[in-house]
Amino acid sequence: MAIINARVIKFIVAIAIPAGMVWGFMSAQKHADTEIKQFNQKQSADPTKQNVEIKGYELKEVDDQNNVRWQLKADLGTRDSNTHMVNLTGITVEYYKDGQVKMKLSAPAGEANEQTNHVKLASQNGRRVVAEGDGGKTHMETSSLELSKNNQFIATDGVNINLPGVAKISGNRAEGNINISELNNFKIIGNTHAAIVVN
């Protein structure tokens, strides 16, 4: 009788070990499925979790010879994975010619589209968007500045442009081109005032 009991006990132990392992695996799988389901529900409930924050964000455009035409840098960029839009803070945009910075823009806030390279710069907390040409050739301040293809710009919500030795111009809106170190072919629209400098 003792021999049967020992054999039965060994058999029960031999069966219990794999059964316990299978039960543990199935329990872990069920727990993992529950965690994934909860994560997906939270992700769906809060789409901002699809955003990625990038400290020291950069975006640039290069020519056919891989020379940088312009480069945007921001202290922080928050990228929406679905739209490829990036909300930016602490922004500088630099335009280059022959490897040298020729025009620098700065703004406290803005956004960029990574697919189209369309950039919108905005003022915030009393700090305006500023554009400064190399050697002080051009100085512009505005509340909002949009940059698009072919170095086109649209400045809105009040614009002040200083062309040292030439004129000081202000208005509601300005449109034109950023030509490396200065503003070109621009026009001021609405409530325009100008002071011409005569030497």
CATH number for the domain including 132?
Answer: 2.60.450.10
- Which residues make beta-bridge pairs with 147? 119, 153
The pLDDT value given to residue 7: 79
- Based on the fold, state whether residues 180 and 154 are members of the same structural domain: yes
170 Cβ contact partners less than 8 Å away, ≥ 6 residues apart = 158, 159, 160, 161, 188, 191, 192, 193, 194
- Based on the fold, state whether residues 39 and 65 are members of the same structural domain: no
Q: Is the pTM of this model over 0.85?
A: no
Residue 96 CA to residue 68 CA, distance in Å, equals 7
Residues 86 and 77: beta-carbon distance below 8 Å: yes
List pLDDT tens digits, range 121-172: 999 999 999 999 888 888 999 999 999 877 888 999 999 988 888 888 889 9
Of 71, 63, 129, which is closest to residue 101 (Cα–Cα)?
71
- Based on the fold, state whether residues 15 and 76 are members of the same structural domain: no
- Based on the fold, state whether residues 30 and 81 are members of the same structural domain: no
- Based on the fold, state whether residues 140 and 124 are members of the same structural domain: yes
Q: Parallel, antiparallel, or unpaired for β 85-97 and 139-147?
A: unpaired
73 Cβ contact partners less than 8 Å away, ≥ 6 residues apart = 56, 57, 58, 91, 92, 93, 94
Number of domains in the chain: 2
Range of the domain at 22: 2-45
- Based on the fold, state whether residues 169 and 91 are members of the same structural domain: yes
- Based on the fold, state whether residues 69 and 23 are members of the same structural domain: no
- Based on the fold, state whether residues 66 and 155 are members of the same structural domain: yes
Reply yes or no on whether the pLDDT at 105 is more than 90.
yes
The pLDDT value given to residue 152: 85
Reply yes or no on whether the pLDDT at 72 is more than 90.
yes
Predicted confidence band of residue 90 (pLDDT cuts 50, 70, 90): very high
